[in-house]
């Protein structure tokens, strides 16, 4: 019976991610920012004390946010509230579950707490989203109980190149798996270090068994639409909004870009007169590659 | 027959797949130009009602859709779609289409940990699977509103004239009987 309930909870958690599709999830650090995000059309907010660009600038160990700060944001908005825990830090996850967070992001943006083991997410009722650079990472996270996947991208840079690389890697590997012969799947599962059943589901359905969002480095409506056209089902925007000149306007534009991602006329209209985008750091200038954390 | 599915945000693909399983044609509504296609029915999917409500207005879809709904277009709203169709939303003066005489409470079962799955009767159909995701329920309904499902004494599905609403997501299950019920209304 226990397993039946667990299975049902996992379905419900995947279902919530399905309802977030076609939406934008925005990083916010205060209740005011959360309200700006909600008014702009965010499908959910990610509550964190410092947005990735500031984490990157500040250096040092970065941890789960103060539950009181997260509660403040839960009170401020009616949309789902997510928050981040360090990779492998299952006690931070227990704490977020206790304050009834809607989704936990086991995130490479924070300093990893465990260099080997991710959280056994199947032990939790609350859903998890995890980052992945490729199909192998995505399926390993799903095997551990993640009910939603996002690209890692390179957070806090305003440079979309890594998110593009991760999404392209994922979709091209999915196409390769789809075209394998049945008897080749066993070897592919061994190669990718993933459970055979999950790989088989990718082979049959041509997609991950959970919703897949883009994240990391999205700074403009065009970036968001690019990720959608590359196959993302929705977009996380971190530093790109509140590090820009006019957060409310840019946030609204990114929301519309995700809805009408394949319509250049709409994209041209909403990309106009947005004020300054976040400054950004090029990939080659980065000291710390967060995407290399937790593979 | 052709059903328009509002595709601004949320679980619209699941509705399209359900309609496909019933061999019903559908198209996505993302912008005003999409309304040039005539439709026999409309589905408002689940998602975040604040997002869909805002995009409806920003993308200038709200007025033309409201007019068609008022003129009797058969319309089916699930979860967020139900909120968009309700006459009143508890605790706020914001309303959207106001097409069915019910008051709904948003996130009525709490946060994601309150989401649940159950099986319960739907009037005239029998027991069906119901998936509630951060779901609303109907707090009050006018006498003219026909109640179609109740779960734990809460009203979770209703119909009035051309409007059908459910708190839960039939499109997230493999059971297409509620969609078939809606299609029967469209015919």
* B21-40 confidence digits (pLDDT tens): 999 999 999 999 999 999 99
Determine the residue of chain A that is closest to B50 in CA distance: A41
**CB contact, 8 Å: A21 with chain B?**
yes
pLDDT for the residue numbered A120: 96
Tell me the mean pLDDT in the region A213-223: 95
Residue in this structure with the two tokens 């226990």, named with its chain if needed: A2
Split at pLDDT 50, 70, 90, the class of A153 is confident
- pTM for this one? 0.95
ipTM: 0.95
Say which CATH architecture domain B2-186 belongs to.
3-Layer(aba) Sandwich (3.40)
Predicted confidence at residue A276, as pLDDT, reads 83
- pLDDT exceeds 60 at position A86: yes
Q: What is the CA radius of gyration of chain B?
A: 15
Res. A16: pLDDT tops 60: yes
Sign of the four-CA dihedral A111, A113, A115, A119: negative
CA distance A187 to A64: 38
Report which of B18, B9, B14 is spatially closest to residue B53, judged by C-alpha positions: B9
- C-alpha B165, offset from chain centre: 5
Contact call for B115 and A263, based on CB within 8 A:
no
Distances (CA, A) of A59 to A54, A109, B39: 8, 11, 56
Contact B112 A11 (CB under 8 A): no
Q: What is the maximal distance between C-alpha atoms in chain A?
A: 57
- Please tell me the predicted confidence (pLDDT) of residue A52: 83
Predicted confidence (pLDDT) per residue in B66-105, tens digit:
999 999 999 999 999 999 999 999 999 999 999 999 999 9
State the average pLDDT for chain B.
Answer: 97
CA nearest B48 in A: which residue?
Answer: A43
- Average pLDDT (A226-236) is 98
pLDDT confidence tier of residue B116, bands split at 50, 70 and 90: very high
Question: What is the C-alpha to C-alpha distance for residues B154 and B122, in angstroms, rounded to an integer?
Answer: 13
User: For the residues A86-95, what does the mean pLDDT come to?
Assistant: 98
Any catalytic annotation for residue A121?
no
Q: Is the pLDDT of residue B133 over 50?
A: yes
Return the pLDDT at A284: 74
The reported pLDDT for the residue numbered A240 is: 84
Q: Is the pLDDT of residue A1 over 70?
A: no
pLDDT at A228: 98
Q: Which residue, among B5, B9, B82, would best test binding to A if mutated, counting the most A CBs under 10 Å from its CB?
A: B9
Report how far apart, in Å, the C-alpha atoms of B26 and of each of B3, B6, B7, B39 are.
5, 10, 11, 9
Tokens at A229, concatenated: 């056209």
Residues 6+ apart with CB under 8 A from A26: A37, A40, A42, A44, A45, A46, A236, A237, A241, A251
Quick one: pLDDT band at residue A286, thresholds 50, 70, 90? confident
B131: nearest CA in chain A?
A12
Q: Which residue has the tokens 């809460």?
A: B154
pLDDT, position A291: 81
pLDDT on residue A2: 53
**CB under 8 Å to A123, separation ≥6 — which residues?**
A90, A145
For B15, B18, B172, the CA distances from B179, given in Å and listed in that order, are: 9, 7, 12
Q: Which of A155-164, A181-190, B172-181 has the lowest mean pLDDT?
A: A155-164
Distances (CA, A) of A203 to A168, B14, B163: 17, 20, 40
* 3-state SS class at A266: helix
Q: What are phi and psi of A221, to 5 degrees?
A: -55, -35
Please give the pLDDT value at position B8.
98
The residue from B103, B119, B169, B179 that is catalytic is: B169
Please determine, for residue B5, whether its predicted confidence score (pLDDT) is greater than 80: yes
Chain B contacts in chain A segment 92-151 (CB below 8 A): 97, 100-103, 125-127
- DSSP 3-state of A279: coil
The stretch A68-80 carries a mean pLDDT of: 97
Task: Tell which residue, B8, B7, B71, B3, has the closest CA to residue B38.
Answer: B3
């Amino acid at each position: 019976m226990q397993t039946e309930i667990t299975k049902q909870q996992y379905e419900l958690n995947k279902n919530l991610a399905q309802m977030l599709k076609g939406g934008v999830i925005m990083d916010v650090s205060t209740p005011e920012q959360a309200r700006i995000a909600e008014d702009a059309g965010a499908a959910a907010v990610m509550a964190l004390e410092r947005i990735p660009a500031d984490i990157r600038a500040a250096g040092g160990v970065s941890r789960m946010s103060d539950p009181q700060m997260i509660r403040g944001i839960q009170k401020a908005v009616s949309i789902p509230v997510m928050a981040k825990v360090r990779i492998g830090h299952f006690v931070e996850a227990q704490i977020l579950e206790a304050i009834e967070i809607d989704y936990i992001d086991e995130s490479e943006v924070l300093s990893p707490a465990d260099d080997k083991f991710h959280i056994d997410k199947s032990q939790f009722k609350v859903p998890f989203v995890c980052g992945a650079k490729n199909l192998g990472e995505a399926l390993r996270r799903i095997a551990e109980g993640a009910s939603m996947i996002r690209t890692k991208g390179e957070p806090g840079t305003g440079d979309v190149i890594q998110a593009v690389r991760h999404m392209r890697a994922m979709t091209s590997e999915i196409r390769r798996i789809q075209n394998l012969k049945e008897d080749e799947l066993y070897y592919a599962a061994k190669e990718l270090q993933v459970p055979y059943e999950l790989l088989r589901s990718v082979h049959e359905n041509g997609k991950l068994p959970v919703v897949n969002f883009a994240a990391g480095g999205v700074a403009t409506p065009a970036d968001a639409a690019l990720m959608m056209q590359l196959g993302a089902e929705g977009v996380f925007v971190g530093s790109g909004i509140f590090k820009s000149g006019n957060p409310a306007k840019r946030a609204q534009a990114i929301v519309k870009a995700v809805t009408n991602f394949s319509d250049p006329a709409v994209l041209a209209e909403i990309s106009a007169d947005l004020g300054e985008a976040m400054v950004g750091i090029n990939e080659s200038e980065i000291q710390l590659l967060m995407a290399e954390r937790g593979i | 027959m052709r059903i328009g599915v509002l595709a601004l945000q949320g679980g619209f693909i699941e509705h399209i797949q359900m309609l496909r399983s019933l061999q019903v044609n559908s198209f996505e509504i993302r912008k005003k130009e999409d309304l040039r296609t005539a439709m026999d029915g409309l589905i408002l999917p689940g998602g975040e009602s604040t997002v869909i409500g805002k995009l409806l207005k920003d993308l200038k879809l709200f007025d033309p859709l409201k007019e068609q709904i008022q003129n009797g277009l058969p319309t089916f709203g699930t979860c967020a779609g139900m909120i968009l169709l309700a006459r009143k939303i508890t605790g706020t003066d914001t309303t959207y289409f106001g097409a069915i005489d019910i008051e709904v409470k948003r996130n009525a079962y709490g946060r994601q940990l309150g989401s649940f799955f159950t099986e319960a009767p739907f009037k005239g159909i029998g027991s069906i699977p119901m998936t509630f995701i951060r779901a609303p329920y109907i707090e009050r309904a006018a006498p003219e509103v026909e109640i179609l499902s109740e779960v734990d004494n809460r009203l979770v599905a209703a119909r009035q004239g051309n409007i059908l609403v459910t708190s839960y997501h039939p499109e997230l299950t493999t059971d297409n009987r509620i969609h078939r019920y809606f299609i029967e209304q469209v015919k």
